[in-house]
Chain A
Amino acid sequence: MAIAKAERLMNLALCLLGASRPLSKRELRASIEAYLEVTSEEAFNRMFERDKDDLRELGMVLETVESIDGEIGYLARRDRNQLPPVTLDAEEAAALQLAASVWQQARLAGAASGALQKLRAAGMPLAEEEREAYSALEPRVPAGEAAFEPLMLACRDRRPVTFDYRKSNAVRPQTRQVEPWALECWRGHWYLAGFDRDRGAERVFRLSRIVGRVRSRAGSFTAEVPGQVAVRESVARWAGEHATAQARIRLRAGAGYPLRARATRVSAAAQEGWDELEIPYGHGLDAWLAEFGPDVLVLEPAELRADVVDRLRAVAKG
């Protein structure tokens, strides 16, 4: 099936690219065997429309031109379809090839290889031998959730979307109407920033919390898209990266290395076997401190201390 379709698309592309004048649907049908084999007019029309969309997807610019006798013709203008001259040296080529390998998401991996193949056809050199990686590093971007691809396309085409979203502590998902601006992968997770229509404000969504399908909505964006979309800053704030105050804790000597690494001040506590630390106090610190169990004692603020004690009580009871 896939071969038959690729073969048909190839023929359509070659016909359009080879012609120096607009070709009518009738002419195209007469030139492409796969179209002639479709006997129903309606089925052919549907197939033809889909094929045109697919060619646009792979980068072709197709124009429609109406002839004097009112017939629609399709034209792939050479200057608009041709890759402008681009000269890459072997080093640049190798760097791009390695960069392209970061994608594990099928659509992006396919698009990246497609781009490299076009550049290869345009003369991008191939190294004599498989080149050693340019650093020992092998960066990978995780494939992402089912919501990734529809959202990527919606961001690209600036199409509003609707999806069900479960906030991290919500029992049931809620339907959100969003104008998607940008996707960002941070710490191995994908996030979407966009304008939430019901809340009338910018929101950041984590893709793994989208439940079910992402649906496209008709119409265009109603809010202005900011020049810079700060996905990471919003997420970092929720991850407790932006401290709003300082906390003072007692930490058992030798324990809690990450707390020490974060501390702004470490000193020996009055009690032997303990250190005293000052650490930035942001969202989520209570849960983090609870993890250390009897190796941490919160001194202040009282509110943080109460939160940690609450967590510990719940566990002790469980």
Chain B
Amino acid sequence: MATTAIDRTRRMLSLVTYLKERPGARVEEVARAFGISPGELISDVNVLPMCGTSFRGGDLLDIDTDGEHIWWHNADALDSGTGQPLRLAADEATALLVAARAVATLPGLRDGDRDALLRATAKLEAAAGENAGASSRLSVTFESEGGVFADVDRAITERRRLRIRYYSPGRDELTDREIDPIRLFAVGHTYVEAWCHRSEARRTFRLDRVARIELLDTAADPPPVEPRDLSEGLVQPAPTDPEVVIEVGPGGRWVAEYYPHDTAEELPDGGLRVTLRTPDPATLRRLALRLGGDGRIVAPPELADSAREAARAALELYEQAERAEAAPAAAPAQRAGEPEPSVERA
């Protein structure tokens, strides 16, 4: 991530304050405190000797480093006003407060951590003063899948295996599987990344699709895998995945918002021609059915055929139902008095 001059200036101003109190500070520790690499820190420290209250009369900061420690030879030359930490800017207060509030609402957060977060939020609000006000104009809600979340969180902490019944929307089926959870993350929805013993591979599961969960006494033993890099988005199709081409009208433009794609060309009618890759094109049959008149699958042809067949089979059902409704006398009414086996949902 490129650092802007503003970011860098505020970092260096904080650095000056920090170093003033800590003669001979260790490079490694300062870098950690500032959340930057030792290299970035050294390059900041190399700029500081060019800064001061005036470039005349020896008022520049006399700071240097041997790569291990940072020394400031004229710290007392700096007026006390310049050595104080600066108040939080509106953006800074917003970034920290909104994040803290969002995280504090996560279910499954340990009570101690939630308390610490709430205490810190209150202190920050007080310290930011009027600049805390703008933070109400930005908010983030993480989806909460409470009960499931708590079990997964516990399984990760206690390194235990989970048995889950999981819904795959592409195939509209529930499968039972044992998984060794690796980590939980939230990008819109909350997900668990795990080693799945059923597919013998790493898989990502969305918590709101977990229909049932059970914490097992078996120890989790996921093979060591690099955590997925989420900065590129959750769905990262492989270059070898089959290609699917979908043409949508204006009413189907949302497809380009929901599906990561390679290209989306504008069509003359205000629609789009979207090209994407997916390991399992059959799962897109649902998309074709949902789109109705707002779009169609262009390729692969088997996928387009399967959507058409599904639609025809469904229409057939409606025709049957209509025939049955037109001839109600044919249906015996023997069930009238029977108690209905039913499941009430809370």
Contacts and interface: CB of A to CB of B under 8 A. Distances in A.
Chain B interface size band reads: 35 or more
Nearest to A138: B185
Interface in A8-41: 9-11, 13-15, 17-20, 31-33
B92 A118 contact: yes
Nearest to B32: A126
A122 B18 CA distance: 7
Interface residues of A, number: 133
B86 A82 contact: yes
- Mostly helix, strand, loop or mixed at chain B's interface? helix
B270 interface: yes
Interface stretch (B50-58, B67-75, B196-204, B273-281): B50-58
Contacts of B79: 17-18, 20
A78 B173 CA distance: 65
A304 interface: no
B304 interface: yes
Contacts of A54: 5-6, 9
B13 A156 contact: no
A155 B123 CA distance: 24
17 contacts: A6-B8, A7-B47, A14-B78, A18-B79, A59-B92, A59-B131, A99-B96, A104-B231, A122-B17, A122-B85, A139-B103, A169-B253, A187-B188, A310-B293, A312-B292, A312-B315, A314-B292
Interface of A: 2-3, 5-7, 9-11, 13-15, 17-20, 31-33, 54-55, 57-61, 78, 80-89, 91-100, 102-104, 106-123, 126, 134-142, 152, 155-156, 166, 168-172, 181-189, 206, 208-209, 231-232, 254-258, 261, 263-268, 270, 287-288, 290-297, 305, 309-316, 318
Interface of B: 1-18, 21, 29, 32-35, 43, 47-48, 50-56, 78-79, 81-82, 84-96, 99-100, 102-104, 106, 108-110, 112-113, 116-117, 119-120, 123-124, 126-127, 129, 131, 134, 136-143, 149, 152-153, 156-157, 167, 169, 172-174, 181, 183-190, 209, 211, 230-231, 250-251, 253-254, 257, 269-270, 285-294, 296-297, 304, 307-308, 310-318, 321, 335, 340-345
